[in-house]
Amino acid sequence: MTAHPPPMALLAELTHRCPLQCPYCSNPLELLKVNAERDTNFWKAVIDEAAALGVLQIHFSGGEPTLRRDLPELVAHARGAGLYTNLITSAVLLDEARLRALAEAGLDHVQVSIQGADAESADRIAAYAGAHAKKLEVARLVPKLGMALTLNAVVHRQNLDRLAEIINLAVELGAGRLEVAHVQYHGWALVNRAALIPDEAALARADAIVAERREALRGELVIDYVLPDLHADLPKTCMGGWGSRFINIAPDGRVLPCHAADSIPGMSFERAGERSLGEIWDASDAFQRFRGTGWMQEPCRTCERREVDFGGCRCQALALLGDATATDPVCHRSPHHARIRETALAEAAAPPPEFRYRRP
Amino acid sequence: MTALALEAVPRLKPGVRRRYDAARGQNILLAPERVLVLDDIANAVLEKLDGATTIEALCAALAEQYETDLEIVRADVLELLTDLRDKGMITV
């Protein structure tokens, strides 16, 4: 048993490698190379430890997790340990044979990303010719092979006007769930913020479409809608609270409270296998650092919402203010809120600059 | 959304699984990005979803098992199944 309530979910970042180059990639600016990746036995041991700890769901993620040849073996191992298995993929490297192998390994759920409603713009955003058509081909097979399908669309000023078509696409492909997620400006996404951030009118139109379609499709399609931060007045409960629900393991085996925690200077992360996952969860500096409310400054410290949103996102406070212990400036109580918002909306009002891709 | 018919056969959708969560001592329903904690009644209902039993037969079995009035069981079961259908966890 752990002293803190055990984690619900494990995000297993098997690799940072990815054939796509989405300009809003939330992975760090510096990606880990293939030689830093851990082997099959490492991940199997992690899975066993996580299941024993109380983890219920495993998200195989990356980078592009299907680049790992041992993926079916890891899925089977996780399923054998009782975990709910979820694959987060771009789908461009999958085909029917590979997908069937994953289904036979016991994969429960496949989450396929799309970059837009039409091939031309989606392939431009992903910087990968033919990606969109391939994604649709693979996504269509997922429910046919008996797995749940989620379509995951990250939305921004260059695809938000086609949101209604994206929703129709999810229905047509047989998805049970659609995630419409506004860009979170971490990692590479921050580099492209001005090219991505929508103005308030576009956001209001999108909100209305989601509300209307969600009601019309009740019972057929679940639509999860992740609101944009910089237009908001209250911060998100990042990760459901630091060290509260999620455990994230990077490709090199480091155990992180969130996949972006790496960006916070002065943090050190222990490696799975060198200490038990339960001890790392309970007692490591990284997980204790922002757990609960003891680390907070004002205005968080005395705020009645401090145990609702836990001060918002630490990485965002760092990225926008240079201080990971500050109130997330998305919050209207942050003294920096008005300035940050004004800058963001000014970017949204100006014409979008060209995307900057990871591999120019 | 239409009301559920008593002669309909409810079943879990693909990618939705029920299991016991030993770490927390509770029955749960696992679905895409969701974990639903099941109380004893919800668990008893979902145990009976075998892909063949109608809602009416399921209610009758529960009424007998818990020695409860059938009308009351029906109301509770329909409420639960409607909620699970709207959450995308069962088909009816």
Instruction: Dump pLDDT digits (tens) for A148-191.
Output: 999 999 999 999 999 999 999 999 999 999 999 999 988 889 89
How many beta-carbon contacts under 8 Å exist across A and B?
60
Give the phi and the psi of residue A248 in degrees, each rounded to 5.
Answer: -120, 130
Is pLDDT at A230 greater than 90 in this prediction? no
Taking an 8 Å cut-off on Cβ atoms, the answer to whether B30 and A108 are in contact is yes
Q: What is the pTM of this model?
A: 0.96
If you search the block for the tokens 């492209």, which residue do you land on? A192
Q: A181 forms bridges with which residues in the sheet?
A: A154, A226
pLDDT digits over A234-287, tens only?
A: 999 988 899 999 999 999 999 999 988 988 988 999 999 999 999 999 999 999
Taking an 8 Å cut-off on Cβ atoms, the answer to whether B30 and A57 are in contact is yes
Detail the DSSP E strand segments found in chain B: 11-12, 17-21, 26-31, 34-38, 90-91
**How far, in Å, CA of A99 to CA of A97, rounded?**
5
Which residue, A104, A70, A112, A69, is CA-closest to A88? A112
**ipTM for the assembly:** 0.94
Cα A15 from chain centre: 14
Question: Mutate which of B33, B83, B86 to disrupt the A interface (most A C-beta within 10 Å)?
Answer: B33
Give the phi and the psi of residue A79 in degrees, each rounded to 5.
Answer: -65, -40
DSSP A273-323: TTB-HHHHHHH-HHHHHTSSSTT--TTGGG-TTTTTTTTS-HHHHHHHHS-
Are A306 and A296 spatial neighbours (Cβ–Cβ below 8 Å)?
yes
Q: List the structure tokens of A14.
A: 């098997």
**How far, in Å, CA of A63 to CA of A52, rounded?**
26
